[in-house]
Amino acid sequence: MTTGQDLSGWTVSLDLWGTLIEHSDQAAVTDWRVAEFGQVLAAFDQDRPASQIRQAVTSVDRLALHQQRHEGTQPTTTKLLAEILNSLAVQETPEMLQVLDVVHTHASLRGCPRHIDGAQDTLRALARTGARLVLTSNTLSTSPLVHRQLLDSLELSPFFADMMFSGDLGVAKPRREVFLRVAERAHTTPDRVIHVGDDWLTDVRGALGAGCQAVYYRQAGRPARPGVLSIIALDQMVNAVLAARHAALAPESR
């Protein structure tokens, strides 16, 4: 490995959804949750129309996602379920919540998550640079435990020295605390962390606001942003990360 390709001492933090994996069928996730919610409520003599359940589930998810992206809040599964049941005028019980917790946290698996093309090859190439690879992902309905099981099944877990989920941290990207924790757990400083992600607000602005470097994975149709390194395919990631390191070190060489 040449010096220019050596990232020893650097941490590369990667977003998960939309950057490394995606759903094969997003609609299947909501459809399954609605159907399973309906069956559970019926079993507890709390029947509700499927249309009403769908409205409750989707509206609570949308609001939680908006608050997460703009405020960095991290709702608990208990809180999300309580809000869904409250909008349905359902009196919750511990037994009902226990069953719905499984439905809620495992629903994303029904969308058949898969690698984005080139994900594993890109991670192998990044690992060869000597960088410490960290997964830094926001979670909502899907728990950190289910995420870890999913990453195991997709054979992505071995690439990462650390995995950080907002459901464990209690705060979410774009909060600077998330990125500072990445640096802290890597025993380095934020300026030696390069974060790669597909969300301009949570991944790029969040990382830059915490003093990290950032690479924007802008998929088809998204505009480039001035002053920020960007890629449109995963096979461009290694070169972009190396360029981010070079740009970060440039002032030191002057």
Q: Please state which of the four CATH numbers 1.10.3720.10, 3.40.50.1000, 3.40.50.720, 3.30.420.10 is assigned to the domain occupying 3-24+115-253.
A: 3.40.50.1000
What is the predicted pLDDT for the residue at 73?
97
Contact 70, 169 (CB under 8 A): no
Q: Consecutive 10-residue runs of the chain (254 residues): their mean pLDDT? A: 76 98 95 97 97 97 96 95 97 95 95 96 97 97 95 97 97 98 98 97 98 93 88 96 93 48
What are the boundaries of each domain within the chain? 3-24+115-253, 26-111
> How long is the chain?
254
- According to the model, what pLDDT value does residue 253 have? 42
Bridge partners, residue 196, by sequence: 14, 215
Residue 163: phi and psi, rounded to 5, are: -130, 125
pTM over 0.85? The answer is yes
Q: What single DSSP character describes residue 138?
A: -
- Which residues are within 8 A (CB) of 103 and not within 5 positions of it... i.e. 6 or more apart? 33, 36, 37, 40
> How confident is the model at residue 254, as a pLDDT?
37
